[in-house]
Structure 1
Amino acid sequence: MTSPDRAAALADAPAQSVESKPFELVCPAGSLPALKAAVDHGADCVYLGLRDATNARNFAGLNFDEAAIANGIRYAHDKGAKVFMALNTYPQASNPELWRSALDKAADLGVDAVILADPGLMQYAVQKHPKLRLHLSVQGSATNYDAINFYREQFGIVRAVLPRVLSLEQVQRVIERTPVEIEVFGFGSLCVMVEGRCALSSYVTGESPNTHGVCSPPKAVRWVETPQGRESRLNGVLIDRYAPGENAGYPTLCKGRFDVGDDENYYAIEEPTSLNTLELLPQLMKMGVRALKVEGRQRSPAYVAQVTKVLREAIDHSIANPHRYAAKPAWMASLDQVAEGQQHTLGAYHRPWK
């Protein structure tokens, strides 16, 4: 079967014994309790990863072994939800077999789709597991329809997750020019870079999310109390300094405060804030977005439960009342409680200068 034929067949076929929906809520599962919290509170799909460098949230204490994945798949499928496995880092020349073995495990365990970034791993999947549904990860950095259509033609990709740097107008143009399902981020921490192309962390720690699955690896993170205030450091490099009572964010280079000029100190690259698309739900559905993704596999089951519950209610309300939909203040307040910096933004979706 050629890749285009494979893509068409997969797109027409239902997920493994799980009914597809016209607009899916895709939620993070960094652990089995988080997976159950997402499914119990209304997620249509959950995404997870193995406990190694094959996924972009490779933090100690997170992720799944094979037994936990099998348990999670049973739990999700029993309740009508799908399970995606993220194998979304790039195989390294020293040990590409780790990624191939992970893909074999995904197929053997019966996941509903794998989320891939590397073309070589996609080709391996096509050759070894032709019936496995393939999604293009946000780490694949496909920001235009030509790139997405290339992945479909070559590897049979049936869904693509867009990087969080596109405006709504740009998302619309992509959807109009590709048959591939489009998934966008709807809530969670932002990334100022085009995902898959960021190596900032490696300049300070030697490890980046694209190669080791970690942005600012925990082993390099330190918070230090000093006479000038609490300091956050990454591998010894000062990222930020906080006043008494001020929330101390996780130290990443893109979200640090820096001395700019002679007397200015501010978030020169990106502020710590969360994307929140509650007010855009009817617009996203109307333009043909296939799925809304929540960021946060590194977050707690309580976070997953709270965000999933709010978004499930909001999505259902938008489907039932598309012309009378309005984001409820209680929804916004609930999501702001778990937002980064307890504040939200529409990010690149809303660009007032366009």
Structure 2
Amino acid sequence: MSSQLPHLVAPAGSLRALTLAIDAGADAVYLGLRNATNARNFAGLNFDEAQVREGLAYAHARGRQVLMALNTYADALDETPWHAAVDAAAELGADALIVADSAVLAYAHAQHPALRLHLSVQASATSHAAIEFYRQRYGIQRAVLPRVLTLQQVQQVIRNTEVEIEVFGFGSLCVMVEGRCALSSYATGQSPNTAGVCSPPAAVQWLEGPDGVEARLAGVLIDRYGPQEPRGYPTLCKGRFSVGDSAAAGHAADYALEEPTSLNTLALLPQLLASGVRAIKIEGRQRSPSYVAGVTRVWRQALDSLAGGGRYSVQPAWQQELGRWAEGQQSTLGAFDRPWR
């Protein structure tokens, strides 16, 4: 078993979330600028350059890192904003860039060779050969794996590359290999790779009606909620639909593609450590600072409990806290656990 604990990488959609993540024990936080270079480009979220400076100062004073996400694909009409974001990250002193677009990687590698580069999950690198290509061509030092690989596949990647491997530990799931999904573009006309999210906020509608609340995406009915029913953010893959003759047979609409549930790999921490995973990421830059603090604190405690070398067990209090923040108050091991294999 590796004696080196993985870095705990927490999301920061705001300066408040950043400080709470650091205080809760994150080794690093990841953030984005308030523009199209960032895959969580929501109104009211993210950082201007002054806030990045303040966040960097707060993190570095406590020995922690700040990673800047430039994880959308550059506009073919104008790559300038992505180049400017790379230059800004280098000037501000970010500890690494998280990049998806190979052209942006090429620019960063050529113009700022000392700047550490991480391959974004949006680059869809699922094999050691793909990751090695990015290392040899652009000098990446870490790759974030999509959430569709089994534990055995993660281990195979780690055995065959010298690049650090980062995996998601907690948060929202994706039905596709990230970077390859075009499902929402059929409804919105915007690719997740360029709009940054699979349900662009401008396309989301909440409509009150006599039977509750309808969630629509660019006019397409995604879900219908009762007056007191919890409401998830409307994405096509996590909507409820009547499929085929199910409505005619009297069957209620159900989740046809993916249920709203959160990945939670606490139970697999010893195996991830033994496999050589170098970083564990918490998903959720669009989530509240309270979410960031609560989830980060649990994962810090879990990782620290492994450091002593004693017997590891998932504490009920950890699961109870994470249950508060899970989608639909449900969690899963996702692709890590495929009993049918």
Query: Gapped runs of 5+ residues in structure 2?
Result: none
AA in 2 matched with 1:287:
S
Moved more, 257-266 or 246-255: 257-266
- What residue in structure 2 maps to residue 50 of structure 1? 33
User: For 1:164 and 1:186, how far apart are their aligned partners in 2?
Assistant: 9
User: For 2:110 and 2:159, how far apart are their aligned partners in 1?
Assistant: 30
Matched, 1:178 2:166: no
User: For 2:118 and 2:330, how far apart are their aligned partners in 1?
Assistant: 30
Residue 275 of structure 1 aligns to a residue whose secondary structure is strand
What do the CA deviations read for 1:300-346 (whole angstroms, capped 9, x no partner)? 11110000100000110022235x10101110010010111111000
For the aligned residues, what is the CA RMSD?
1.1
Kindly state the Cα deviation for residue 52 of structure 1 after the two structures are TM-superposed.
0.6
Query: Gapped runs of 5+ residues in structure 1?
Result: 1-20
Matched, 1:268 2:256: yes
- What residue in structure 2 maps to residue 144 of structure 1? 127
Residue 187 of structure 2 aligns to a residue whose secondary structure is helix
- What residue in structure 2 maps to residue 15 of structure 1? none
Matched, 1:281 2:269: yes
Matched, 1:158 2:141: yes
- What residue in structure 1 maps to residue 86 of structure 2? 103
User: For 2:197 and 2:124, how far apart are their aligned partners in 1?
Assistant: 17
Choose which of 9, 13, 17 in structure 2 pairs with 1:30.
Answer: 13
Matched, 1:306 2:294: yes
Residue 26 of structure 1 aligns to a residue whose secondary structure is strand
What do the CA deviations read for 1:44-67 (whole angstroms, capped 9, x no partner)? 000000001101111111100000
Kindly state the Cα deviation for residue 228 of structure 1 after the two structures are TM-superposed.
3.2
Moved more, 225-234 or 45-54: 225-234
- What residue in structure 1 maps to residue 337 of structure 2? 350
Kindly state the Cα deviation for residue 226 of structure 1 after the two structures are TM-superposed.
2.0
User: For 1:293 and 1:285, how far apart are their aligned partners in 2?
Assistant: 14
- What residue in structure 2 maps to residue 249 of structure 1? 232
Percent identity between the two aligned chains? 66
User: For 1:233 and 1:335, how far apart are their aligned partners in 2?
Assistant: 28
When normalised by structure 1's length, the TM-score is 0.92
Q: Contact 1:208–1:216 (CA<8 Å) still a contact in 2?
A: no
Residue 260 of structure 1 aligns to a residue whose secondary structure is coil
Q: Contact 2:5–2:303 (CA<8 Å) still a contact in 1?
A: no
AA in 2 matched with 1:342:
Q
What do the CA deviations read for 1:204-261 (whole angstroms, capped 9, x no partner)? 1122321121221122212222233321111111001123422111110010011112
Q: Give the number of equivalent residue pairs.
A: 333
When normalised by structure 2's length, the TM-score is 0.96
User: For 1:318 and 1:278, how far apart are their aligned partners in 2?
Assistant: 11
